Structure 1
Amino acid sequence: MTAPPADPPAVRVKLFQAASLANQFKDSEALAVYQEILNLAPTHYLSLWQAAVLSVRIGNRYSDETRKAAYFDAARQYADRALLLRPEGGESNYAAALALFSQATLYSAGARLAAFRDLRSHVYLATERRPDLPETWQLLGRWQYRVAHYNLLERLYSKLVLGGVPEGGDSRDAMENLEKAHKMAPQNLQFCYDLARMCQYQGRRRRAIEVLLEAEKISPITSDELVISRLCRKMLPPLARADARHQRRAASEAAPAPPPTPAPASSSREGD
């Protein structure tokens, strides 16, 4: 595979500017710079997949579904253009899977299941080609968990209309991949929240508490992280109370039973 041509100086300057803005969590400004690069070089691969990821990130901040959809649709378009350039690229497939997963949250039930089916190959290719990106493992884990917990109607629709339930949905694999993402980026509050929540769902209360205690030590930087930090803090007390009750009950059951109280000796009267 031949190496891509070097970026022209004007593009290199803008790439540095976009990366600097993204590192400062100025996502909208960074996206605007990547869009400027794409005006200069419409097939610039890095700018395409980064624009897709940033579009999803920005769209997730809106509560209005129309605005969300606009950003998610833009992300899908950027990702599709990146896929045309590198059909098996780890970054392009991650961007495509992320855009599809995000769009699915706004779809009707049937379209949502079709999106989950379609993103399967993308998310697996992403982890295969870019195993160093913790975001790919997080997304794979989330997808695996969601598919593993299809309800009866979702499974029936998938079998009758979509050619079957996607292969790979497994709760244990999902947990392993979320653990992997968390291990690779332990300071990522979103990874902490996703992992703790799924541990809670799977009845792994002690592990959920461990992860949430780790999250308590992470200082949020952005408004997004502040929201997630609050969600983590909200999850912790009820889990801690439930665990304390469980420990008390276990201690009570394990305690040795007290020795039986001896019966009082019976007294007999020898006549009058």
Structure 2
Amino acid sequence: MALVGWTAPAFAQPVKPRVPAVRVAPPPASDPPAVRVKLFQAARLTNQFKDSEALAVYQEVLSTVPNHYMALWQAAVLSVRIGGRYSDETRKAAYFDAARQYADRALLLRPEGGESNYAVAVALFSQATLYSAGARLQAFRDLRSHVYLATEKRPDMPEAWQLLGRWQYRVAHYNLLERIYSKLVLGDVPDGGDSREAMDDLEKAHRLAPNNLQFCYDLARMCRYQGRRRRAIEVLREAEKIPPITSDDLVLSRLCRKMLPPLLRAAERHQKRQASQPAPAPESANILHQPTETTSGKQK
């Protein structure tokens, strides 16, 4: 069901969103040696940004061990990353659907797992970009519990904090039609939409991974939208020092550089306005012009 006049905020649809590789623990010692070798191989390929090759290795693991938790949730995250690079919606949807299937299987194995809940949340968030407005709002409602559980169980995972912040900001900026639809059809607007909390969560992601350009870009944009120009400039200055590694990083680096000059010009205009304003008269000078009273109450 499409909502007439529905438009998503600019923050909700970044250019070619990049899902960073999630740091993983070593393979379980209980795994057979051949499986452990493949898991280390997949992790190495992921660290080298060879996502398609890494996904193929995880798929090999799953062909022999269908219920391997690490392989399932990592395959989900990689599928989202790969799918996000396609402009063709059919291929994009195929990868996002596969990610959701991997994530759901991981969730069945560990319903309370931080990684499995993150995988489900990021798959839902990615699928939502291809849905009609009503289905998109449904997806945003459904992923709420998963992204909160992901940050609770894996507070060391910056990607989970980033996703929570983006979700909170998106829900906080539902327009009137989205709020009406959510209340009438979905029961209510999801709890947790708050711009300030969203910014705090993106700050957490940035602190955990300060060299991640996606986190810098998201945080700087949110600070700009919230009028925190000084903080946005600080984050963009930090982004200037991060060397881009992948083609996605190169795009993000250019976007950060493009965002910075208008903010600097606005800051300069603000400083000039402040400098041109007359300084308030000192309190001691004002006292000289106040009438004084004698002990009898008459003015001198």
**Is TM (by shorter chain) over 0.5?**
yes
The answer on 1:100 being equivalent to 2:100 is no
Specify which structure has the higher proportion of helix. Answer: 1
2:184 counterpart residue number:
160
How far has the Cα of 1:145 moved from its partner? 0.4
How far has the Cα of 1:251 moved from its partner? 1.3
- Superposed counterparts of 1:246-257, under 5 Å: 246-255=270-279
The answer on 1:145 being equivalent to 2:164 is no
- Structure 2 residue identity aligned to 1:165: V
How far has the Cα of 1:9 moved from its partner? 1.0
Of the candidates 110, 115, 118, which is equivalent to residue 86 of structure 1? 110
d(CA) in 2 for partners of 1:201 and 1:217?
A: 23
- Superposed counterparts of 1:1-272, under 5 Å: 6-255=30-279
d(CA) in 1 for partners of 2:225 and 2:71?
A: 37
- Structure 1 residue identity aligned to 2:101: Q
1:267 counterpart residue number:
none
What do the CA deviations read for 1:57-97 (whole angstroms, capped 9, x no partner)? 11111111111111111100000000010011000000000
RMSD between aligned alpha carbons? Answer: 1.2
Q: Tell me, what secondary structure is at the counterpart of 1:166? A: coil
d(CA) in 2 for partners of 1:67 and 1:23?
A: 24
d(CA) in 1 for partners of 2:260 and 2:87?
A: 26
How far has the Cα of 1:255 moved from its partner? 4.7
Aligned CA distance change for structure 1 residues 88 and 197 (closer, same or farther; 3 Å): same
- Structure 1 residue identity aligned to 2:47: N
Q: Tell me, what secondary structure is at the counterpart of 2:231? A: helix
d(CA) in 1 for partners of 2:254 and 2:210?
A: 17
- Structure 1 residue identity aligned to 2:81: R
d(CA) in 2 for partners of 1:220 and 1:206?
A: 24
Q: Tell me, what secondary structure is at the counterpart of 2:277? A: helix
- Structure 2 residue identity aligned to 1:84: L
d(CA) in 2 for partners of 1:248 and 1:58?
A: 47
Structure 2 length as normaliser, TM-score?
0.83
- Structure 1 residue identity aligned to 2:171: V
Unaligned 5+ segments in structure 1 are 258-272
Q: Tell me, what secondary structure is at the counterpart of 1:122? A: helix
Unaligned 5+ segments in structure 2 are 1-27, 282-300
What is the aligned residue count?
A: 254
d(CA) in 2 for partners of 1:40 and 1:55?
A: 19
How far has the Cα of 1:243 moved from its partner? 1.0
- Structure 2 residue identity aligned to 1:221: I
How far has the Cα of 1:5 moved from its partner? 7.4
- Structure 2 residue identity aligned to 1:136: A
4+ runs of 1 displaced by more than 2 Å? 254-257
Q: Tell me, what secondary structure is at the counterpart of 2:139? A: helix
The structure having more radius of gyration, on CA atoms, is 1
Percent of pairs with identical residues: 85
Structure 1 length as normaliser, TM-score?
0.92
How far has the Cα of 1:254 moved from its partner? 4.5
